[in-house]
Structure 1
């Protein structure tokens, strides 16, 4: 019988977060070094959910010591570890190695320093609402929905603002300002918006950071409520 969502989270929820950090990244952890994926997971989790590290270590170790058989995987009774490019015979040792690195990080206080995100997973973990905004409103389908005229980007921003709870909009504004505060080169801002799902260019004549700044200003300006029937002054 397949696991219920609460059972999945209780047994494998944080293990799943660790595995997601490895999507598209090599599982090249060694006894003496951490992969880019594990470094990204540790940095983000230390600075946002440090209490989850102990859970990750325990779930990784338990899974490695009691791996499921193929039948139980097919029945959905266990979490299937995604393909990370390692032979099946090496997965258990790799999971234990990751658990050891996480345990050492916690016990010795080895926290990766703040940094610009280094993996696709870390970009989305750090800027989740910005990923929703760029991936949802600025995909390659944007011209079909908002037209190809010069103000199509503005129409998409207006649609986001009109259809999104103001508290979520405020969260996006905070993420935009955090990204701009990183003070990256324009090439790095172009990479950032691409990692976060933007599949169209910023409108002319804006650079990526310039356009992000205009969006933050536009969405960060409160919309006054003049009351029923009242006209703006």
Structure 2
């Protein structure tokens, strides 16, 4: 029978995070050079969950040492590694190579310097609520659902928990702190799911700055008026 979530996380949870970083990216790791996908995983994880790196190294190595057979995969008892563009015979060595890179990074304390995300996975791992906002409220259907961009922003704020709005605002400021070129902000919003152009006369970076300014002040909820007010 399929594994329960707790068992899955204990055995494959961080392995799944590593493999997810490769979706849409080449699995071209070499013993002397980690792939762009693995570099993105290392960069993000070092700065957010450094303790998870050791778990990833262990789970990768254990999976490579004990690859599941087809029957147990079909029964849902093992994690099925998605197709990463490698022949099945090469997956085991590839997993060992990834584990070796992660181990070397941990032992050397090689924390990557902060930088802008470089892969689709890294954009969404670093800016999850911004991705929810852009992908959910600014898809190609946005002009049919809202009168303008401001209305979509107001709808997001009204429909979302204030704590999520605060997190989103923080992610906005973090993205703006990267001081990207306007073309790079265009890439950022596209990676995060925006499918419409920003409103005139703004470019992507200018519009994000405007949204951040509008959401900069927290909205206090003072409750119902006191009797006699």
Aligned to 2:107: 107
**Corresponding residue of 2:216:** 220
Residue 225 of structure 1, CA deviation = 3.8
- Relative to structure 1, is the Cα distance of residues 206 and 101 closer, same or farther in structure 2, using a 3 angstrom cutoff? same
2:175 — aligned with what?
Answer: 179
Which deviates the most, 28-37 or 216-225? 216-225
1:175 offset after TM fit, Å?
0.6
Task: State whether structure 2 residue 1 is matched by structure 1 residue 7.
Answer: no
> Which residue in 2 is equivalent to 1:46?
46
- Over the aligned positions, Cα root-mean-square deviation in angstroms equals 1.2
The aligned counterpart of 1:199 is: 195
- 1:163 has 2:142 as partner: no
Task: Show the 5 A alignment for 1:99-138.
Answer: 99-138=99-138
Which blocks of at least 5 consecutive residues in structure 1 are unaligned?
none
Q: Partner of 1:14: helix, strand, or coil? A: helix
SS at match of 1:68: coil
Superposition deviation, residue 111 in structure 1: 2.0
Runs of 4+ in 1 over 4 A off after TM superposition: none
Please give the alpha-carbon distance, in whole angstroms, between the structure 2 residues aligned to 1:129 and 1:80.
28
1:222 deviates by 2.3
Aligned to 2:72: 72
Aligned length: 226
Write out per-residue CA displacement over residues 134-175 of structure 1, whole angstroms, 9 at most, x where no aligned residue.
01110111122114xxxx111110011111111111111111
SS of the residue 1:220 aligns to: coil
Q: 1:169-196, CA deviations, whole angstroms, 9 ceiling, x for partnerless residues?
A: 1111111011111111100000000000
Measured after TM superposition, the shift of residue 228 of structure 1 is: 2.5
**Equivalent residue for 1:24?**
24
Shift of 1:227: 4.4
Aligned pair in 2 of structure 1 residues 223, 92: CA closer, same or farther (>3 Å)?
same
Structural mapping, 1:93-104, within 5 Å: 93-104=93-104
| TM-score normalised according to structure 2 size | 0.96
What 5-or-longer segments of structure 2 have no aligned partner?
none
Partners in 1 of 2:222 and 2:93 — Cα distance? 63
Measured after TM superposition, the shift of residue 226 of structure 1 is 5.2
Structure 1 residue 146 and structure 2 residue 146: aligned?
A: yes
TM-superposed deviation, 1:74: 1.2
Q: Using the TM superposition, give the Cα deviation of residue 71 of structure 1 relative to its aligned residue in structure 2, in angstroms.
A: 1.2
